[in-house]
C-alpha cells in the first residue's frame, strides 16, 4: 500500500474473519461467492473500475470477483491463488493438493484439542517450511494463532469451489500471475493450470521465493506489482 499510495488510491478490504471484519455467519458454510459479496461495499467505494491485487486466499477471491464482473476489473495482480479445487477437478486425490489437505486436517485436530498454537504450526510450516513457526517472533504469533480458527473454513471454500478451469479461459483482462519457485506443490499445481488457461496472463517467477514471498521478500514483489500496474495505466489510457 505504501509503494502504490503516491500514484494510486489504495483500499484494502478484509475478508470474513480477518482484520476487523465480522466473523463468518454460523448458519452456513462460506464460499468464495460469499467473500466477493462481503467486500462489495469496498469495491463500490473504489469506483466504476479498479485494479485488484491479492495473495493466496485473497487471490482466489480476486479471480472469483473477476469472473463475476470482469468489466469492473481493469487488471488483476495475483500471487499464487489457492484454488485447490482445480487440482482435484483435473485428477482426484492423491494429487498435488494432498499436502494442504493434510495440513488443514492436522490444524483442525489441534484446534479441537484446544491448541491454536499447534494448529498455526501445522499451517505455517506447510507454507514456509519446517521450523518456520518456531522461528516466528513471539509478537507475530498471537494474531496468527487467533486467525487460525478459520483454517477449516478456508480449506472448505478452496477445495470445494465449483468454478471449472474453462471459465478462466474466457477471462479477457490482463493478469499478472506471480509464483515463487520454492512454493509447495499445491500452489504450484494451481499455477500450472491457471497460467495455461488465462488468455492474457503475464507470469512472473521468483527463483528463491515461496508462497509467502509477499511477506518474506516484500520489496521484490512490490516492485513487480508497481511495474505491472504502471504499464497497465499507460496502455489503457492510450
The answer to the question of residue 1 being in a domain is no
> Domain span at residue 169?
32-92+163-236
The answer to the question of residue 141 being in a domain is no
Count of all residues that appear for the chain in the document: 238
The answer to the question of residue 175 being in a domain is yes
CATH of the domain at 177: 3.40.50.1820
The answer to the question of residue 71 being in a domain is yes
The answer to the question of residue 27 being in a domain is no
Residue 116: φ, ψ to 5°: -65, -30
The answer to the question of residue 129 being in a domain is no
The cell for 235 is: 496502455
> What SS3 class is residue 68?
helix
The answer to the question of residue 56 being in a domain is yes
User: Which tens digit of pLDDT belongs to each residue from 131-161?
Assistant: 999 999 999 999 899 889 889 999 999 999 9
| Residue pair 50/15 in contact by the 8 Å Cβ criterion | no
User: Which tens digit of pLDDT belongs to each residue from 2-50?
Assistant: 999 999 999 999 998 888 888 887 667 889 999 999 999 999 999 999 9
How many structural domains comprise the chain?
Answer: 1
User: What is the C-alpha separation between 225 and 59, in angstroms, rounded?
Assistant: 14
Alpha carbon of 114 to those of 108, 118, 137, 148, 167: distances in Å? 10, 9, 22, 12, 40
pTM summary value: 0.95
Amino acid at each position: 500500500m505504501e509503494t502504490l499510495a503516491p500514484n494510486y488510491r489504495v483500499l484494502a478490504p478484509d475478508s470474513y474473519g480477518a482484520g476487523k471484519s465480522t466473523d463468518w455467519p454460523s448458519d452456513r458454510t462460506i464460499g468464495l461467492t460469499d467473500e466477493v459479496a462481503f467486500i462489495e461495499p469496498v469495491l463500490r467505494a473504489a469506483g466504476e473500475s479498479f485494479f485488484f491485487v491479492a495473495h493466496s486466499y485473497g487471490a482466489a477471491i480476486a479471480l472469483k470477483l473477476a469472473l463475476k464482473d470482469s468489466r469492473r476489473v481493469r487488471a488483476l495482480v495475483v500471487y499464487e491463488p489457492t484454488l485447490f479445487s482445480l487440482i482435484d477437478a483435473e485428477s482426484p486425490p492423491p494429487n498435488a493438493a494432498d499436502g494442504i489437505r493434510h495440513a488443514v486436517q492436522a490444524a483442525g485436530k489441534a484446534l479441537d484439542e484446544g491448541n491454536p498454537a499447534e494448529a498455526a504450526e501445522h499451517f505455517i510450516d506447510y507454507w514456509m517450511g519446517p521450523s518456520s513457526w518456531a522461528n516466528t517472533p513471539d509478537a507475530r504469533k498471537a494474531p496468527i494463532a487467533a486467525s487460525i480458527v478459520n483454517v477449516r473454513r478456508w480449506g472448505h471454500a478452496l477445495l470445494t469451489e465449483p468454478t471449472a478451469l474453462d471459465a478462466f479461459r474466457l477471462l479477457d483482462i490482463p493478469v499478472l500471475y506471480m509464483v515463487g519457485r520454492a512454493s509447495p506443490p499445491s500452489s504450484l499445481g494451481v499455477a500450472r493450470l491457471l497460467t495455461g488457461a488465462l488468455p492474457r496472463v503475464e507470469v512472473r517467477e521468483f527463483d528463491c521465493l515461496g508462497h509467502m514471498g509477499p511477506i518474506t521478500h516484500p520489496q521484490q514483489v512490490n516492485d513487480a506489482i508497481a511495474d505491472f500496474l504502471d504499464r497497465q495505466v499507460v496502455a489503457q489510457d492510450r
